[in-house]
Structure 1
Amino acid sequence: MANSVAKGALKSYLKMKNPGYAILVDAPWGAGKTHFVKEVCFESDGTNNVRYVSLNGASDDLAFRRALLKDSYEASLAERGAIFGNILSRKLRLGDLGNLARDFLEERLIAGLPETLIFDDIERSSIDPQQLLGLINDFVEHKGKRVILLVHSEEHDHKEAFLNRKEKLVGRTLHIEADLDAALPNFLAAIDHSRGRKFFQEHEKLIGSVFEQAGHQNLRLLRNALRDCSLVLDRIDEDLFSAKEPMARFVSTFLAFSMALAKGEITTQVLDCRDSWKIAVSGEVEGDLKGLNKLFKRHEGADIHAHSGSVLSMALCELLFVRGHAETEALNELLKSTGQFNQQDENPLWKRIAHWGDFAWDELKELIAQGEDYLFEASPVEAGPYLHIADGLLRIESYGGLQTSRKELVAKILQRVEVLARSGGLPPAKMGRRFGWGARGRHFSFGGYGCDANDDFLDIMNSMSAAQLRIYEGKKEELAKKLAECFGSDLSRFMLKISYTQDETTYYHVPIFHEIDVDGFAQSCLEYLESGQGNALGQVFEQLADRHNNNEEWQPEIEWFYVLREKLEKGAIHHSKLARAQLELFFRFYWKFASPEEVKIG
């Protein structure tokens, strides 16, 4: 049990009469030392025989004495009596008799203090260490009290002076560590009965792992992160919790970011750089990304680095940690849009194979058989897990653990990728850019785990990305049709599909309108104009034009929009002169498209 030695020593001390020395408990902020000491003292002495004193902000002898008597009913009466007495005595020109009476009463109160005194926040007092220790020593040496000092010595402004002078007072120093097993039930009890609390109760091991990886031993940071995370989990759709591994990864990532931000290890500004591959490098990183890189290295299995396989997208990260809130609809939509939240076990096959070195020998044969079955028999498959399993088997082969040769294994995987692509067993590259897994050069990443690819695995990665791109190209006509249907039915929802997102999950970044039937799109535009929705349509047109740049890949779409303009002009002329006039006004305000000639020149 954590801190059992310290607890035993403290209990023994509390049994002493006039011990002649103080106990010092030294632990980091948030490690739970105040709770630990209070619990042991109240258990041994009872609440009436223990006085807790916080010296936070105490700057002189008077402040020290006020801290000793703070929250005492008698002391508050003495203070009010002093005020009244001073007023009366000044009128009688007798000086501040109220202060004298208060000081006399306070001395009596101090003489009657309980036998056990706890002095907390030693490092937060600005009283000179020698003077402060002298004040406290009076209770040990002359009044025979049991005294316990609580300090985080590493944060003391006069650390050396304090440590050098404490020996006369302190007879024993106890160091405690954060006791998560003892603290977590209290943290969860403070959270309302909810979906979040239920998740945490079922995933105490996950919480412990994230806290251990964080390395700061600050239970207060964890408590606050759990509270914030619980409020988010309460608003997530019930069916998303069936995706056990992605949900666990989301919670791990949330807790890691929440604690790091609260501790000041990173700032909200650097979250805008989560998609940088510099975060995921194994070497040292300098500058603004240093904090994120450290976080990435510490929290294995969390999506610190944002790529197309992340459960915490750039957009959702901004809402939760920069703006401080995500509306329920947006929260669930952004989680679903990752493509990760499909029903699955918390320890799926790809994750088990990534940790194949941890398995018992008699389990490895079955694990490898399951991996081979997924690679060569399963359909459909998810690209990220497929690549993790392929990499895992290649690594096992490199250690001589497979019957198949490396050359045969690679050829068989490459062949299977092509079969899956032709048979519809692979997902398309979303927007022609997002594969559902991350790759930069030779680095592969998915599910909070990554690796640097050798030549064979690089070939497999390239084959997978090329296949997913081909599938996307084959589905563009279908995607364009759905986009046109959305435009004709709901401009607000359509606007979301063409608005900028940092993680490139919309059609803002992708030319696709040239795949849409221009006559049908023109008819929808004319209907919006005819029904008086010109301003809403105009905002859509401005957003559509904002997508374009001088890159030649946009050329077919820009030419399509000028064909659309001709269709709109013909439709308006056919309707009436007023409709034609209103369309010209609409174009003057909202037509911001570059001409095809400008793009060619650019």
Structure 2
Amino acid sequence: MRYFAFPADAPTPKRIHEAGGPETPLSKYLDYYRGVNTPGYAVLVTGEWGIGKTHQVKLAFDEDQYHYVSLFGLRTAEELRSAVFAQMYPSRHRIKGLVGDARQALSAASGLFALGSLTPALFGAFLDKNISAERILIFDDLERSRMSLKVLLGVINNYVEHFGCRVVVIAHDDKVLDSYLTQAKEKLFGQTLKAVPQTNEAFESFLKRHEGTAFGDFIDPYAQDLIDIFMSSGQPSLRLLKHLIEDLRRFHSALTDRHQAHLGAMTEAIRMISVFAIETRANELKPEDLIERAKSVFGDNQSRIAELRAKYGTIALESTTLSDALLTSMFVDGIFDSNAIRSSLDQSQHFLPPADLPPWRKVISFDELDDAEVAAAAALMESQIESLQPLDPGEMLHILALRLMMAEHAISDNTPIESVAEAKAYIDAMLQAGNIPPRTLDDTWRYERFDAHDGTGFWVSEKMKGHFAQITGHLKQARETALERKLETEATPLLEALNDGEQFFELMVTTYKGNNRYAHVPILHKIDPADFVSAWLRAPKNGWYWISNSINERYKAGFQTTEMRQEWPWARQVVALLRQELDKLDGFAKLRLARALPAAVGDNGDDELIEGTLETAATLDPLPSDVKPAANEDDA
């Protein structure tokens, strides 16, 4: 047996037939094999999955010079013979004619089969008699056949030895865990060829469908970058290259003319996308590797991003031109959100005027800026702290995280403990000034993660995580307080909403439609129970059903969340007052109010029930499975 591996760039002579594709040592040998009459041996073409083995083999011949048969899923020798026959005689009337000829011949030999169907064995024998050796037989997916390798190779050998066929078998032989293949390589296969990726040719093929399109024109100047990055990846599968081009097409569809015209931004973004697309699909990058890239590149030489930075040289994998959140959305969730892509680019240093960049962005990019510029930005951060300038909570946390980092590395005069104390005092002062926004009213606040803002992770080392957790916990509590103050001002006006019972219900209960503004926050207990009952009794009677069900549903919610349990005593007082009003009524009025009493509202026994089940009721305050309680009660 002869075994050759052909490199992609090996020199080859001129082809002797008209098939397309590049001239390679693989195509040269197959061209030679095509001209051999009754060779008496088959050719085995091997190589990694996804490198284009099938494409290269087919490209070595003209379409009228071969029959292609996939072995995928074939279970029996008869199925394989039928598949070959179907390729040789695809015309339906031709098959019918041959079957008719077979019946006539068999009938003349014996009347036994004249009226019956052909048996598989007899029909298989007949099919073998109609084999033509005019074209080459290409058998693909050897490792994916479901019949035994001994039977499969026996059938193939039959075509080679008995019918004089030229046969090419394509396989990823490393995946064929059968010792019989080793024997077959000595007996059946007279030549084993190892295919390698034809990257340039494949790239041109993948881009051909985009010729003359806006995307084709956009990506053309970056073609060599894409090929170089793919070659640097060391990945053999050309499918990764094909997926990359589709990823870039989706990215391009989100861009405006202004974005496309910025050569520096596009070069940086396309190179980043190329690396992350290849490495994530090759399972070399995990979702967690895409978080806090700026820190991991320079702060931890063992990080995967740091290793890839060394592997790909000058490509800035830590760049925030494409944010952590955006990269995660693109390469973990498969979502290329146009607004998110444009927003990430617009917030990068490429598109924001220097004067518009927030100070924390300059400080966090200290690796790329002069000391004077970083110092000026740090001073501006301090000014924002001292003046209690209104800021988004995420921006506040970036500043406080950077101040903690500066304390850790002795860049400031504070210790980390002093930095935490100052951060808490700053948050308290911001709350007092009314500059802390309330937490959200919906249920998502339970799962809030304090790891990034504006697409960039907070600069917090492993050593400082406990300190930062105290800061985030304090901010979280301040936002709770801000919400309490806000709800105090919104509670009494809710009495007017009772005039439309259905609207009141939508405000108070999760209906998955309409405005469920207060469905997840306790607010009714801030209204005087007597005022609430008076407003209820004045409201239109056709809305009482909805008011009653609002209280019912919120009372039942208290069995699931601690927060809603704050309304229990209030609800009991409301029901008690309604019962007092009930005693004053008679007739239909009494029956109407009796039917409207919130039936779910219990007594103090509910409190005892909750207390007795706290240790086992895992649904009271649900947290994501990956969130563990912090050691400090102030931690987020």
Q: Is the TM-score greater than 0.5?
A: yes
Equivalence map 1:202-221=2 (5 Å): 219=239
1:166 counterpart residue number: 185
Query: With structure 2 as the length reference, what TM-score do the two structures score?
Result: 0.55
Instruction: State the TM-score, normalizing by the size of structure 1.
Output: 0.58
Alignment of 1:141-180 (within 5 A): 147-153=167-173, 155-156=175-176, 158-162=177-181, 165-166=184-185, 168=187, 169=189, 170-174=191-195, 176=197
Say if 1:101 and 1:310 are closer, same or farther in 2 by CA, change over 3 A.
closer
**Residue 463 in 1 paired to residue 483 in 2?**
no
User: In the TM superposition, what are the counterparts of 1:324-473 in structure 2 within 5 Å?
Assistant: 345=346, 347=348, 359-360=367-368, 362=369, 366=373, 370=377, 373-374=380-381, 376-377=383-384, 379-384=389-394, 386-388=396-398, 390-392=400-402, 394-395=404-405, 398=408, 402=411, 404-407=412-415, 410=419, 414=423, 416-430=426-440, 434=445, 437-438=448-449, 458-473=466-481
In terms of fraction of residues, the more helix-rich structure is: 1
Q: 1:398–1:545: structure 2 CA closer, same or farther, 3 Å change rule?
A: closer
Equivalents in 2 of 1:436, 1:164: separation in Å? 60
Aligned residue number for residue 555 of structure 2: 545
Equivalent residue for 1:122?
142
Structure-2 residue corresponding to 1:57? 73
What percentage of residue pairs aligned between the two structures are identical? Answer: 17
Structure 1 position 514 matched with structure 2 position 521: no
**1:446-595 superposed matches below 5 A:** 458-479=466-487, 484=494, 488=500, 490=503, 493-494=506-507, 497=510, 510-516=521-527, 518=529, 522=533, 530-531=541-542, 534=545, 539-549=549-559, 556-566=566-576, 568=578, 577-587=587-597, 591-595=599-603
> Given residue 142 of structure 2, which amino acid in structure 1 is its aligned partner?
I
- Picking from 110, 132, 147, the partner of 1:110 is 132
Indicate if the aligned counterparts of 1:178 and 1:218 stay in contact, CA closer than 8 A.
yes
Cα distance, 1:181–1:113 mapped onto 2, change above 3 Å: closer
Counterpart residue type for residue 60 of structure 1: T
Residues 510 and 407 of structure 1: CA distance in aligned 2, closer, same or farther (over 3 Å): same
| Counterparts of 1:140 and 1:388, CA distance in 2 | 71
By how many angstroms is 1:53 displaced? 1.3
Matched, 1:27 2:34: no
Q: Does 1:94 align with 2:116?
A: no
Please give the alpha-carbon distance, in whole angstroms, between the structure 2 residues aligned to 1:523 and 1:155: 79
Distance 1:467 1:582 in 2: 48
1:599/1:136 Cα in 2 relative to 1: closer, same or farther (>3 Å)?
same
1:166 partner amino acid: K
Question: 2:29 maps to which residue?
Answer: 13
Change (3 A) 1:61 1:340: closer
Larger radius of gyration: 2
Check the 8 A contact 1:26/1:151 in 2, yes or no.
Answer: yes
Q: Which amino acid aligns with 1:24?
A: V
Letter in 2 for 1:383: P
- Counterpart code for 1:565: V
Residue type matched to 2:48 in 1?
A: A
Aligned length: 494
Question: What secondary structure is seen at the aligned counterpart in 2 of 1:592?
Answer: coil
* Structure 1 portions without partners, runs of 5+: 195-199, 235-247, 267-273, 281-294, 300-308, 313-319, 322-331, 500-504
Give, in whole Å, the separation in 2 of the partners of 1:395 and 1:125: 59
Q: What's the CA shift string for 1:41-81, capped at 9, x where partnerless?
A: 45443333343211122233322222224455546445434
How far 1:33 sits from its partner (Å)? 3.7
Secondary structure in structure 1 of the residue aligned to 2:554: helix
Q: For residues 543 and 59 of structure 2, what CA distance do their matches in structure 1 show?
A: 75
Distance 1:461 1:13, change over 3 A: same
Code of the aligned partner of 2:470: N
Q: Relative to structure 2, which stretch is displaced further, 341-350 or 542-551?
A: 341-350
* Shift in Å, 1:113: 2.5
Q: Secondary structure at the match of 1:429?
A: coil
Contact 2:44 2:171 in 1 (8 A): no
Q: Please state whether the residue corresponding to 2:438 is helix, strand or coil.
A: coil
Give yes or no for contact 1:32–1:219 (8 Å, CA) kept in 2: yes
2:88 touches 2:132 (CA, 8 Å); kept in 1? no
Name the aligned partner's letter for residue 27 of structure 1: E
**RMSD over equivalenced CA pairs, Å:** 6.5
Shift of 1:581: 0.8
Go from structure 1 to structure 2 and tell me whether the alpha carbon gap of 1:445 and 1:67 turns closer, same or farther (over 3 Å shift). same
Distance in 1, matches of 2:522 and 2:574, equals 15
CA distance in 2, matches of 1:544, 1:516: 15
| CA 1:434–1:550: 2 relative to 1, 3 Å | closer
Q: CA deviation at 1:171?
A: 1.6
- The 5 Å alignment of 1:290-309 reads none
